[in-house]
Amino acid sequence: MRAAPRLHWSIMKQHKIAIMGFGTVGGGTYDILTQNRDYIKRTQGMDVVVARILDRSDAPLVARGIDKSLFCGDVDALAADPEIELAVETMGGVEPAKTFITKMLRAGKSVVTANKELLAKHMHELAPIAEQNGCGLYFEASCVGGVPIIRALNESVQGDKIVSLYGIINGTTNYILSKMTDEGCDYATALAEAQALGFAEADPTSDVEGFDAAYKLSILGSMAFRTCVPYGSILREGITKVTAGDIANARELGYTVKLVAVGKRDGNNIEARVHPAFVPNDHPLAAVSGAFNAVYLRGDFVGDLMFYGAGAGAHPTGSAIVSDIVKALSGAAGYGGFAGDSLEKGISLVGDFVSGYYICVTVADKTGVLSKISNILGDNGVSIKAAVQRSSASGTATVVFLTHRAHEHSVMQALGSIAKLASVERIDSMLRVL
Ligand code: HSE
């Protein structure tokens, strides 16, 4: 049990911690710990001091005017330093972060990390090392930045079976899609602006191809469904093929296009997917714009919950890290790890899930084309909810279909047959409907 805050500063224990990786998030964490040091002392009863900063050089410390004596370039020396109680890992990527975290845990130092890729791929290896060495692994900052979603899943809805989790958990793609929606521009223009403003990386692959969201869904899904949702099993599609036409069609039909992460559990069946989708405008997630993130949970007893906030950035992510530092130094256990790196026996990941679909096709504007397409959809058990046709001067027509809920495999099969029709020029788009 956590001790009550102690108010006598003179006898308050000083906790010395290290930050490994002093980039944006490491720097944000340092800002909070130094600027709010007295506040944390007063309210949490602990004096947290950044005593070591590990990086390749002392340049990031110099750039921030931080005393160079805090610099440490040797991870083994850091692991051997008995004064350091805890290490924050804000390096990102799998290596050398995995090796460094392992060294800290083996030295009995708890670790607070923001590293979603590492956790999604190697949590099953790191959690037992933490346990064997009597320390904790804390990772609130790994998903959805400053939004306390890991804590909520771990500590607030333990009594509920989480039925579904829908999230907008990547700010870069949400910024790009919001820009396309608000300004009618195409993907390349929105990406270029996101890069110019620092919302997207120079190499945006991890964000725009859905990897980042899939790492987070693996972590959130595993926490929500209390079983490992392996990263490699998640259906993943990015936003690079979403067109200005798709966004305009969505608007016309009452939807907003978002990159969504979907997790569902029904008994022993789990769905886990990341893809762009038509989100109905009356769904709370449709209103989550710009670089903001949100997670919409449904528990079997609590009902619907929504968590919203900044999903990235030095200070929001630093805030989540500081909350974990306080938690760890208070003696509270780390978050539960994922048992194993694969689905438990008896649990299946459903590939043939059910969803609504938006399909956009360019066809020859001739008699009978629409009925051939409708027949193929019908033969595959896919029922049409709405259809809109727009003819062009060139003798082609664009046809947009919205379907009722149908099986993914049936829709894919139907699209394969539709593509083979002589009168079909191309299938422009297929997006799932939330
Ligand atoms: N690049 C991520 C995003 C933040 O755009 O949301 C870190 O996961």
Active-site residue, from 41, 109, 116, 216:
216
Tell me what pLDDT residue 345 has. 84
167 lines ligand 1 (CB under 6 A): no
Residue to mutate, 24, 212, 220, 315, ligand 1, most ligand atoms under 8 Å from C-beta: 212
Tell me what pLDDT residue 340 has. 75
Residues facing residue 295 across a β-bridge:
167, 307
Tell me what pLDDT residue 292 has. 97
Which amino acid residue places its CA nearest to atom 4 of ligand 1? 312
Residue 2 has pLDDT above 60, yes or no: no
Whole-number Å distance, alpha carbon 169 to ligand 1 midpoint, is 8
Tell me what pLDDT residue 346 has. 85
312 lines ligand 1 (CB under 6 A): yes
Residue to mutate, 24, 115, 172, ligand 1, most ligand atoms under 8 Å from C-beta: 172
Within 13 Å and on the Cβ side, how many CA atoms surround 255? 23
What mean pLDDT do residues 88-107 have?
98
How many of the other CB atoms lie within 10 Å of CB of 127?
Answer: 20
161 catalytic residue (yes or no): no
How many of the other CB atoms lie within 10 Å of CB of 276?
Answer: 24
Tell me what pLDDT residue 341 has. 79
Whole-number Å distance, alpha carbon 213 to ligand 1 midpoint, is 8
Per-residue three-class SS string for 226-242: CCCCCHHHCEECCCCCC
How many of the other CB atoms lie within 10 Å of CB of 337?
Answer: 20
How many angstroms separate the Cα of 295 from the Cα of each of 75, 103, 212, 310, 423? 36, 33, 15, 12, 42
Query: Crossing angle, helix 171-183 and helix 187-196, to 10 degrees?
Result: 120
> Is residue 1 very low, low, confident or very high in pLDDT (cuts 50, 70, 90)?
very low
Which tokens hold the place of 368?
Answer: 């009978």
Which amino acid residue places its CA nearest to atom 2 of ligand 1? 170
**CA 200 to ligand 1: nearest atom:** 5
Tell me what pLDDT residue 389 has. 93
For residues 23, 25, 27, 29, the Cα torsion angle rounded to the nearest 10 degrees is -150
Instruction: Note the pLDDT tens digit of each residue in 8-34.
Output: 555 688 999 999 999 999 999 999 999
Which range, of 149-158, 163-172, 287-296, 340-349, averages the lowest pLDDT?
A: 340-349
Tell me what pLDDT residue 8 has. 52
Instruction: Note the pLDDT tens digit of each residue in 378-433.
Output: 999 999 999 999 988 889 999 999 999 999 999 999 999 999 999 999 999 999 99
> Is residue 338 very low, low, confident or very high in pLDDT (cuts 50, 70, 90)?
confident
172 lines ligand 1 (CB under 6 A): yes
Nearest to 328 by CA among 104, 54, 69, 67: 104
Which tokens hold the place of 359?
Answer: 């399909």
What mean pLDDT do residues 345-349 have?
87
Whole-number Å distance, alpha carbon 171 to ligand 1 midpoint, is 6
**What DSSP character marks residue 11?**
G
How does the average pLDDT of the chain come out, rounded?
95
Residue 264 has pLDDT above 90, yes or no: yes
Tell me what pLDDT residue 5 has. 53
Report the C-alpha gap between 73 and 21 in whole angstroms.
10
Tell me what pLDDT residue 312 has. 92
How many of the other CB atoms lie within 10 Å of CB of 254?
Answer: 12
Tell me what pLDDT residue 10 has. 54
What pTM does this model have?
0.95
What mean pLDDT do residues 354-378 have?
96
Residue to mutate, 175, 201, 207, ligand 1, most ligand atoms under 8 Å from C-beta: 207
Over pLDDT 70: what percentage of the chain? 97
